[in-house]
Amino acid sequence: MNILDKFGFKEVCDVCLYNIDHTTGDPTNPVLFLDTLKISTIETNCQQTDATGGQGNGVLLSWDYGKDIVVNFSDALFSMKSLSVLNGTAVVESENGIVRQGIEFGGTRVPNTFIGPNGKRHFIPSDRIIYDPEGHVVEEQDLQSDQKYIMCFTLTPRHFYGVPVTARDFPGVYYMVGETIARNLKNNEDEFCQLIIPKIKIYNDFNFELTSSDPTVFSFRGRALSTSEKRMMSLVKYDVDELQGNMLFDNSSVQLYSSLDERLLVRFR
């Protein structure tokens, strides 16, 4: 390694989370792939204690302990799978799902359609219920022309995907690989870089804000746990053969993570 080599980062990480083989600690199947992140930051800190004494009570010795690594993510998009991972629950797919809708209308003319996404009209089922602003059921023949009403009805969707949020389920621990690039100061060329966290605990405090002006950003974070070898994270810069060289992947392999990362495991785990 040349100690004069210097690099710069500008790109956000593409992150992949893998399940962990609890026998070997190696990654197995991919659980979540994030290639639409806006921000991925790494915060490393530790605690410190000092021995002080003598005239002026100066610091004589200092110890570091309690190293902590937190990774923050902001994703421009979401998927049902990403929401399920952040909640620690599975995506529920059902052919018998029920959703409840409510629309406002005024006057004596009862609407039989409502407008959904993309301006498309959808039929309102005949078993709808009409309420006045105080929440009382109103029959159609009793509607008044100068009054506002709320119509409630249930729909049976063609496709129903749900992510339950429960009090007893929480996100798990995964093997994380963050892929980015580093630009070489010497030749101004980009090179491969990976951020590897062998055990990352996803926090349950993710958040997002629905607004009428700006796109929603989904923010969440994770904490690096220490392995049995006391490794918490590895930052790796690497080179691989170009297309005319040896192929990185063996199509017959059952391993779903990159062979490059598999090689790095031997050195860094």
Do residues 87 and 201 both lie within one domain?
yes
Do residues 39 and 138 both lie within one domain?
no
Do residues 131 and 205 both lie within one domain?
no
pLDDT at 260: 47
Do residues 107 and 233 both lie within one domain?
no
Domain count, the chain: 2
Do residues 187 and 262 both lie within one domain?
yes
Both structure tokens of 223: 């904490």
Residues of the chain with pLDDT under 70: 1, 244-269
Torsions phi, psi for 111 (to 5 deg): -70, 150
pLDDT at 246: 57
pLDDT at 240: 82
d(CA 205, CA 76): 17
Is residue 2 in some structural domain?
no
Is residue 52 in some structural domain?
no
Is residue 199 in some structural domain?
yes
**Bridge partners for 65 per DSSP:** 47
Sorted by sequence, the CB contacts under 8 Å of residue 246 that are 6+ apart come out as: none
Give Cα 134 to chain centroid, integer Å.
41
Do residues 87 and 103 both lie within one domain?
no
pLDDT at 48: 95
Is residue 181 in some structural domain?
yes
Do residues 71 and 150 both lie within one domain?
no
Do residues 148 and 243 both lie within one domain?
no
CATH number at residue 88: 2.30.110
Q: Which residue segment(s) compose the domain that 147 sits in? A: 99-155
d(CA 111, CA 105): 8
pLDDT tens per residue, range 41-69: 899 999 999 999 999 999 999 999 999 99
d(CA 93, CA 253): 31
Sorted by sequence, the CB contacts under 8 Å of residue 244 that are 6+ apart come out as: none
* Three-class DSSP category at 74: strand
Residue-by-residue DSSP string for 142-156:
G--TT-EEEEEEEE-
